Amino acid sequence: MFAKRQSALAAAAGSPPPSRMPKIDLKAVLAFLKRPPVAVGAAGLVLLSAVALFLTVLGDPRAGTPSAHVALKREAAPAPAAPTGLEAFSMGGFAAWQGLSDPALLDASGAAGGEALITLPDGATVAGGSAIAAPVIPAEPLTPAPIAGLSQPGPNGPLPVIATDGRVPAQAYARPFTPNGRPRVALIVGGLGLNAVTTRAAIERLPPEVTLSFVPYAEDLQGWIDLARRQGHEVLIEIPMEPTGYPNNDPGPQTLLANATPDDIETRMAWLLGRATGYFGVTNYLGDRFVTSDAGMSAFLGILRQRGLAFFDDGVARRRPGAWSRASADTIVDETQTPAAIIARLNALEATAKTRGAALGTGFAYPVTVEAAARWTAGLEARGVQLAPASALAARPGR
């Protein structure tokens, strides 16, 4: 018995142990799956599984990738700082404060230019979007107009005349000036009387040596001229003259036309000169076409000579002598209306004065022009140049 058992173990040595799992009859399974009802059900299950997998994977591009959710708190953007005085008058322009659009600077109606207030290093302030921040200049009053003997009644108001004792408006209404031997530079700022804010700013914030010219169509023109003279400014009246492109480019109903008769020019000049008193001369407004008319310019300059008035032009009539006294500008300082361009022109005007002994510039009462001119003139004395009224640079014909 023992020998048989040992032989049986030896025969079984190295064989795998018998499996305890039940044996699956593959033939029976295949036969079951081949039944029509079972085959249809299995195919449907496979199709549904494929669709579910397709939606899971392609419906979310990040399906199957690790993900995490973190709560983030976004900090509010800091409010922009108000520009400093140096930035407000930097050579890059006034854009930082001319067009403030921060909601905090809007007024109740939603319009820009509420109550924003910027203080500049020299103590001047700018509020509500105004672009003129130079400090107010102390007044140096001139003799109030009218001065006795220098006017006579006209069809539309008093007209300037030469007094019986020889006094002329070109001298009596000019700002007194005493040269100190240094180069002289003069500046005329025009276009005044139509905008109350810029007109008052030019009167109060430009040095009294700066000559101001007023539009003849301005309301309360006499009031503006009186205010300018109380501050110390001498005054010019602007004469509208026919420009290229007229009438599409129309300076107004009293424009002096190139083809006008001497009588027509005299009639229009009576209206223009009768608008106010207290001015020492006139200047042109446009007129590159009118100045080419020999007859028109002769009539115009003859009227000024007979009435003792000076004539200043912006350079368009440089070769036209006449009037009681005469001067032409060396440059227009604000053809490009940026601080950098205006300061460059003013500096060039100063250099011309140092080279030739005197120089005259003209500009328009844009806020940027008034601001730039106010700050440029403030340093002239330290740079060895004397600021002079325009009348000090006028010359008598033949002298």
Ordered per-residue pLDDT tens for the chain, 399 residues: 444 434 443 444 444 444 555 555 656 656 655 666 656 566 666 566 655 555 554 555 555 555 555 555 555 555 444 333 333 333 333 332 233 223 333 333 333 333 333 333 333 333 333 468 899 999 999 999 999 999 999 999 999 999 999 999 999 999 999 999 999 999 999 999 999 999 999 999 999 999 999 999 999 999 999 999 999 999 999 999 999 999 999 999 999 999 999 999 999 999 999 999 999 999 999 999 999 999 999 999 999 999 999 999 999 998 888 899 999 999 999 999 999 999 999 999 999 999 999 999 999 999 999 999 999 999 999 999 999 999 999 998 755
Residues in the chain: 399
For residues 125 and 117, what is the distance between their CA atoms, to the nearest angstrom?
7
User: Contact at 8 Å (CB) between 126 and 135?
Assistant: no
Distance of CA 139 to the CA centre of its chain: 28
Residue 267's Cβ-count burial label (10 Å; 0-12, 13-18, 19+) is middle
For residues 345 and 134, what is the distance between their CA atoms, to the nearest angstrom?
19
Per the structure block, which two tokens stand in for 88? 């407000």
Q: The pTM is what?
A: 0.70
Q: What is the DSSP string of 66-82?
A: --------PPPPPPPPP
**Distances from the Cα of 130 to the Cαs of 23, 99, 366, in angstroms?**
99, 9, 11
Q: What is the DSSP string of 215-265?
A: -TT-TTHHHHHHHHHHHT--EEEEEEEPPTTTTTS---TTPBPTT--HHHH
User: Contact at 8 Å (CB) between 330 and 282?
Assistant: no
